[in-house]
């Protein structure tokens, strides 16, 4: 065993607005001030990108200790080094703290500098605020109120620049609003590794544009909209659809792959309008793929399943559940198979194990694997968000999908007569429509119609991920929480409630009536969840399974 220990972090003493603090060596001045509860406005600076220092909004006063002729610090009456202040402002975004450094974040010089910078930035800026999509979350608006002036001394006509420029299929540019912070350029170069945007022309006529023969079509292009501090880059899909202050923001996680990126869902009246990334440095940093953030239209699809059906006829929930239970009880354990989903929550998978026990169909169940190509950033090859949870709870085979061949063989030989499918299309498991028609009964729980639902004897409408509470485990073994941001349409119900009632109909066991109680029961059975609750998971999640290198998604750039 190695006896090496990590080298101690070197700390430096820094005076901020007259108060001394300690910070690790290498901390940027702007971050040190934030840690000391002294916010410094910024436009070009972003903590995940390089610091060009071109907006000048983060100017502060800096100084270093006065030195005696023999190069020793001059000590003041308070026992601390006296500061010799530099007679001109310094940018704080590209400077690291140093021993004995002094910083003034709100002196008369700093206030004058901020007013001058704001006046300069607004010289050619159009008065678009009433119609700008960035209104309500615009740094230029906020800082102009807090640090700017109430009037403009600029009398000449403003420079006109292109508007409504489609940089790519998902991003629209209003160049008049751009303040040339270069965040978008640096993101595409440093994170997306796609050098597609640059600055054209000079002086007041400078503007961002795509390089000749190129368009902004990278799958991470919408991150440039997230980090744009003004309304220059806008999401074409979201543009002019909803004011941000009308949106209800729900913190949850992405369900498009095993990375489990943290997201914020913006919705109003049960309609999702946009999805944006949420910072979690252990998962996705502050980024999110376009393909993941735009894959939400199906939640509001008018074809959503909204009422229980038995042989295509609408029934109430009690009737549908009772008929499904009677069908399952009428068959022997060898005649029933269950197909679960790697997109289900841990709570749903836990109840699935109880359903498996009630039916006595051990090893006659599996999940359908979904494999794609990892992109080297945030998209994992495993397109199921909770394969790890399915393995942990024993719903999936060790090699997910390896048992499905036995399902196909059993259906075609006539040995399997009833199949329960929980959120999956059985044709993805290898069955064809002839096989589906051959089965005596199919009990299907799903959100949207698919190739299986027309053959379902009992069809139970479930909830989409934004309509659920629960938890999932990503490919790195991190337990994360889903939160409900909208209500399920019609008579659709939470999947765990449907499973609970189905188990009750088969075994007569007492049910659970709150998701918190369900998690508590699961934590009592699964050691990895011991001592946890949904509330203890928190917004950023907790590691519950030791990460295995072979199961890692492609390394995320965060």
Query: Is the pLDDT reported for residue 297 higher than 90?
Result: yes
Distance CA 275, CA 267 (A): 9
Query: Is the pLDDT reported for residue 294 higher than 50?
Result: yes
Q: Which CATH architecture has domain 129-141+156-300?
A: 2-Layer Sandwich (3.30)
Distance separating the N- and C-terminal Cα atoms of the chain: 31
Mean pLDDT of 353-370: 95
Render pLDDT for 76-125 as a digit per residue (tens, 0 to 9): 777 777 889 999 999 999 999 998 899 999 999 999 999 999 999 988 88
pLDDT band at 552 (very low <50, low <70, confident <90, very high): very low
Of 124-128, 298-302, 372-376, 536-540, least confident by mean pLDDT is: 124-128
Query: Is the pLDDT reported for residue 68 higher than 90?
Result: no
Question: Are 422 and 340 a contacting pair, CB within 8 Å?
Answer: yes
Contacts of 495 (CB under 8 A, 6+ apart): 344, 345, 348, 422, 423, 445, 462, 463, 468
Question: Are 103 and 31 a contacting pair, CB within 8 Å?
Answer: no
- What is the reported pLDDT for 147? 87
- Boundaries of every domain in the chain: 11-119, 129-141+156-300, 309-551
Short-list 83, 80, 491, CA closest to 306: 491
What does the DSSP assignment read for 299-318? GG-TT---S-EETTEE--HH
CATH number for the domain running over 11-119: 3.10.20.740
Mean pLDDT of 354-376: 94
Domain 309-551 -> CATH class: alpha beta
Query: Is the pLDDT reported for residue 510 higher than 80?
Result: no
Mean pLDDT of 133-150: 88
- What is the reported pLDDT for 547? 64
Distance CA 220, CA 289 (A): 5
- What is the reported pLDDT for 6? 61
The verdict on pTM exceeding 0.85 is yes
Domains 11-119 and 129-141+156-300 share a fold: no
Query: Is the pLDDT reported for residue 5 higher than 90?
Result: no
Render pLDDT for 226-250 as a digit per residue (tens, 0 to 9): 999 999 999 999 999 999 999 999 9
Query: Is the pLDDT reported for residue 428 higher than 90?
Result: yes
Helix axes of 139-147 and 108-121: crossing angle, nearest 10 degrees: 140
> Residue 443 phi/psi, 5° resolution?
-110, 110
Contacts of residues 528-532 at CB distance under 8 Å and 24 or more positions apart, as own/partner, are 528/392, 528/479, 529/346, 529/479, 532/479
Residue ranges of alpha helices (H) inside 372-483 are: 387-392, 404-413, 433-438
């Amino acid at each position: 065993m190695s006896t090496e220990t990590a080298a101690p972090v070197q700390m430096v003493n820094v005076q901020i607005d007259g108060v001394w603090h300690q910070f690790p060596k290498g901390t940027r001045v702007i971050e040190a001030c934030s840690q000391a509860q002294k916010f410094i406005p910024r436009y070009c600076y972003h903590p995940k990108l390089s610091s060009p220092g071109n907006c000048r909004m983060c100017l502060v006063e800096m100084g270093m200790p006065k030195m005696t002729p023999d190069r020793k610090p001059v000590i003041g009456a308070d026992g601390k080094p006296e500061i010799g202040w530099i007679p001109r402002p310094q940018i704080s975004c590209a400077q690291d703290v140093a021993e004995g450094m002094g910083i003034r974040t709100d002196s008369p010089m700093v206030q004058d500098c901020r007013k001058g910078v704001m006046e300069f930035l607004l010289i050619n800026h159009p008065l678009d605020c009433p119609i700008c999509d960035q209104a309500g979350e615009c740094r230029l608006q906020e800082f102009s109120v807090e640090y700017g002036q109430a009037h403009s001394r600029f009398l000449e006509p403003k420079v006109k620049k292109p508007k409504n420029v489609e940089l790519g299929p998902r991003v629209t540019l209003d160049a008049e609003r751009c303040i040339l912070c270069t965040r978008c350029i640096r993101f595409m170069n440093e994170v997306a590794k796609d050098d597609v945007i640059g600055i054209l022309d000079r002086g007041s006529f400078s503007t961002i544009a795509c390089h000749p023969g190129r368009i902004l079509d990278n799958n991470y292009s919408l991150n440039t909209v997230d980090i744009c501090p003004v309304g220059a880059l806008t999401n074409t899909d979201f543009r002019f659809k909803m004011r941000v202050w009308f949106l209800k923001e729900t913190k949850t996680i992405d369900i498009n792959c095993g990375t489990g990126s943290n997201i914020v869902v913006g919705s109003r009246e049960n309609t999702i309008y946009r999805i944006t990334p949420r910072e979690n440095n252990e998962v996705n940093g502050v980024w999110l793929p376009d393909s993941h953030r735009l894959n939400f239209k199906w939640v509001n699809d008018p074809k959503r399943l909204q009422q229980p059906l038995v042989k295509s006829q609408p029934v109430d929930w009690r009737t549908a559940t009772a008929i499904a239970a009677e069908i399952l009880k009428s068959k022997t354990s060898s005649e029933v198979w269950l197909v679960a989903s790697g997109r289900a929550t841990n709570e749903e998978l836990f109840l699935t194990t109880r359903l498996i026990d009630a039916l006595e169909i051990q090893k006659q169940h599996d999940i359908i694997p979904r494999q794609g190509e990892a992109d080297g950033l945030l998209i994992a090859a495993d397109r199921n968000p909770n394969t790890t949870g399915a393995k942990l709870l024993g719903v999936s085979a060790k090699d997910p999908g390896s048992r499905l061949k036995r399902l196909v063989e059993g259906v075609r030989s006539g040995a399997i007569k009833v199949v329960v499918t929980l959120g999956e299309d059985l044709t993805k498991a290898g069955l064809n429509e002839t096989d589906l028609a051959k089965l005596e009964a199919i009990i299907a729980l799903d959100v949207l119609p698919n190739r299986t639902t027309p053959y379902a004897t009992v069809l139970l409408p479930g909830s989409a991920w934004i309509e659920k509470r629960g938890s999932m485990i990503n490919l790195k073994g991190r337990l994360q929480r889903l939160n409900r941001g909208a209500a399920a349409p019609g008579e659709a119900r939470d999947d765990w409630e449907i499973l609970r009632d189905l188990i009750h109909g088969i075994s007569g066991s007492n049910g659970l009536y709150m998701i918190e109680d369900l998690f508590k029961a699961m934590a009592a059975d699964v050691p990895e969840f011991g001592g946890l609750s949904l509330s203890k998971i928190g917004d950023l999640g907790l590691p519950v399974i030791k990460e295995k290198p072979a199961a890692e998604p492609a390394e995320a750039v965060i």
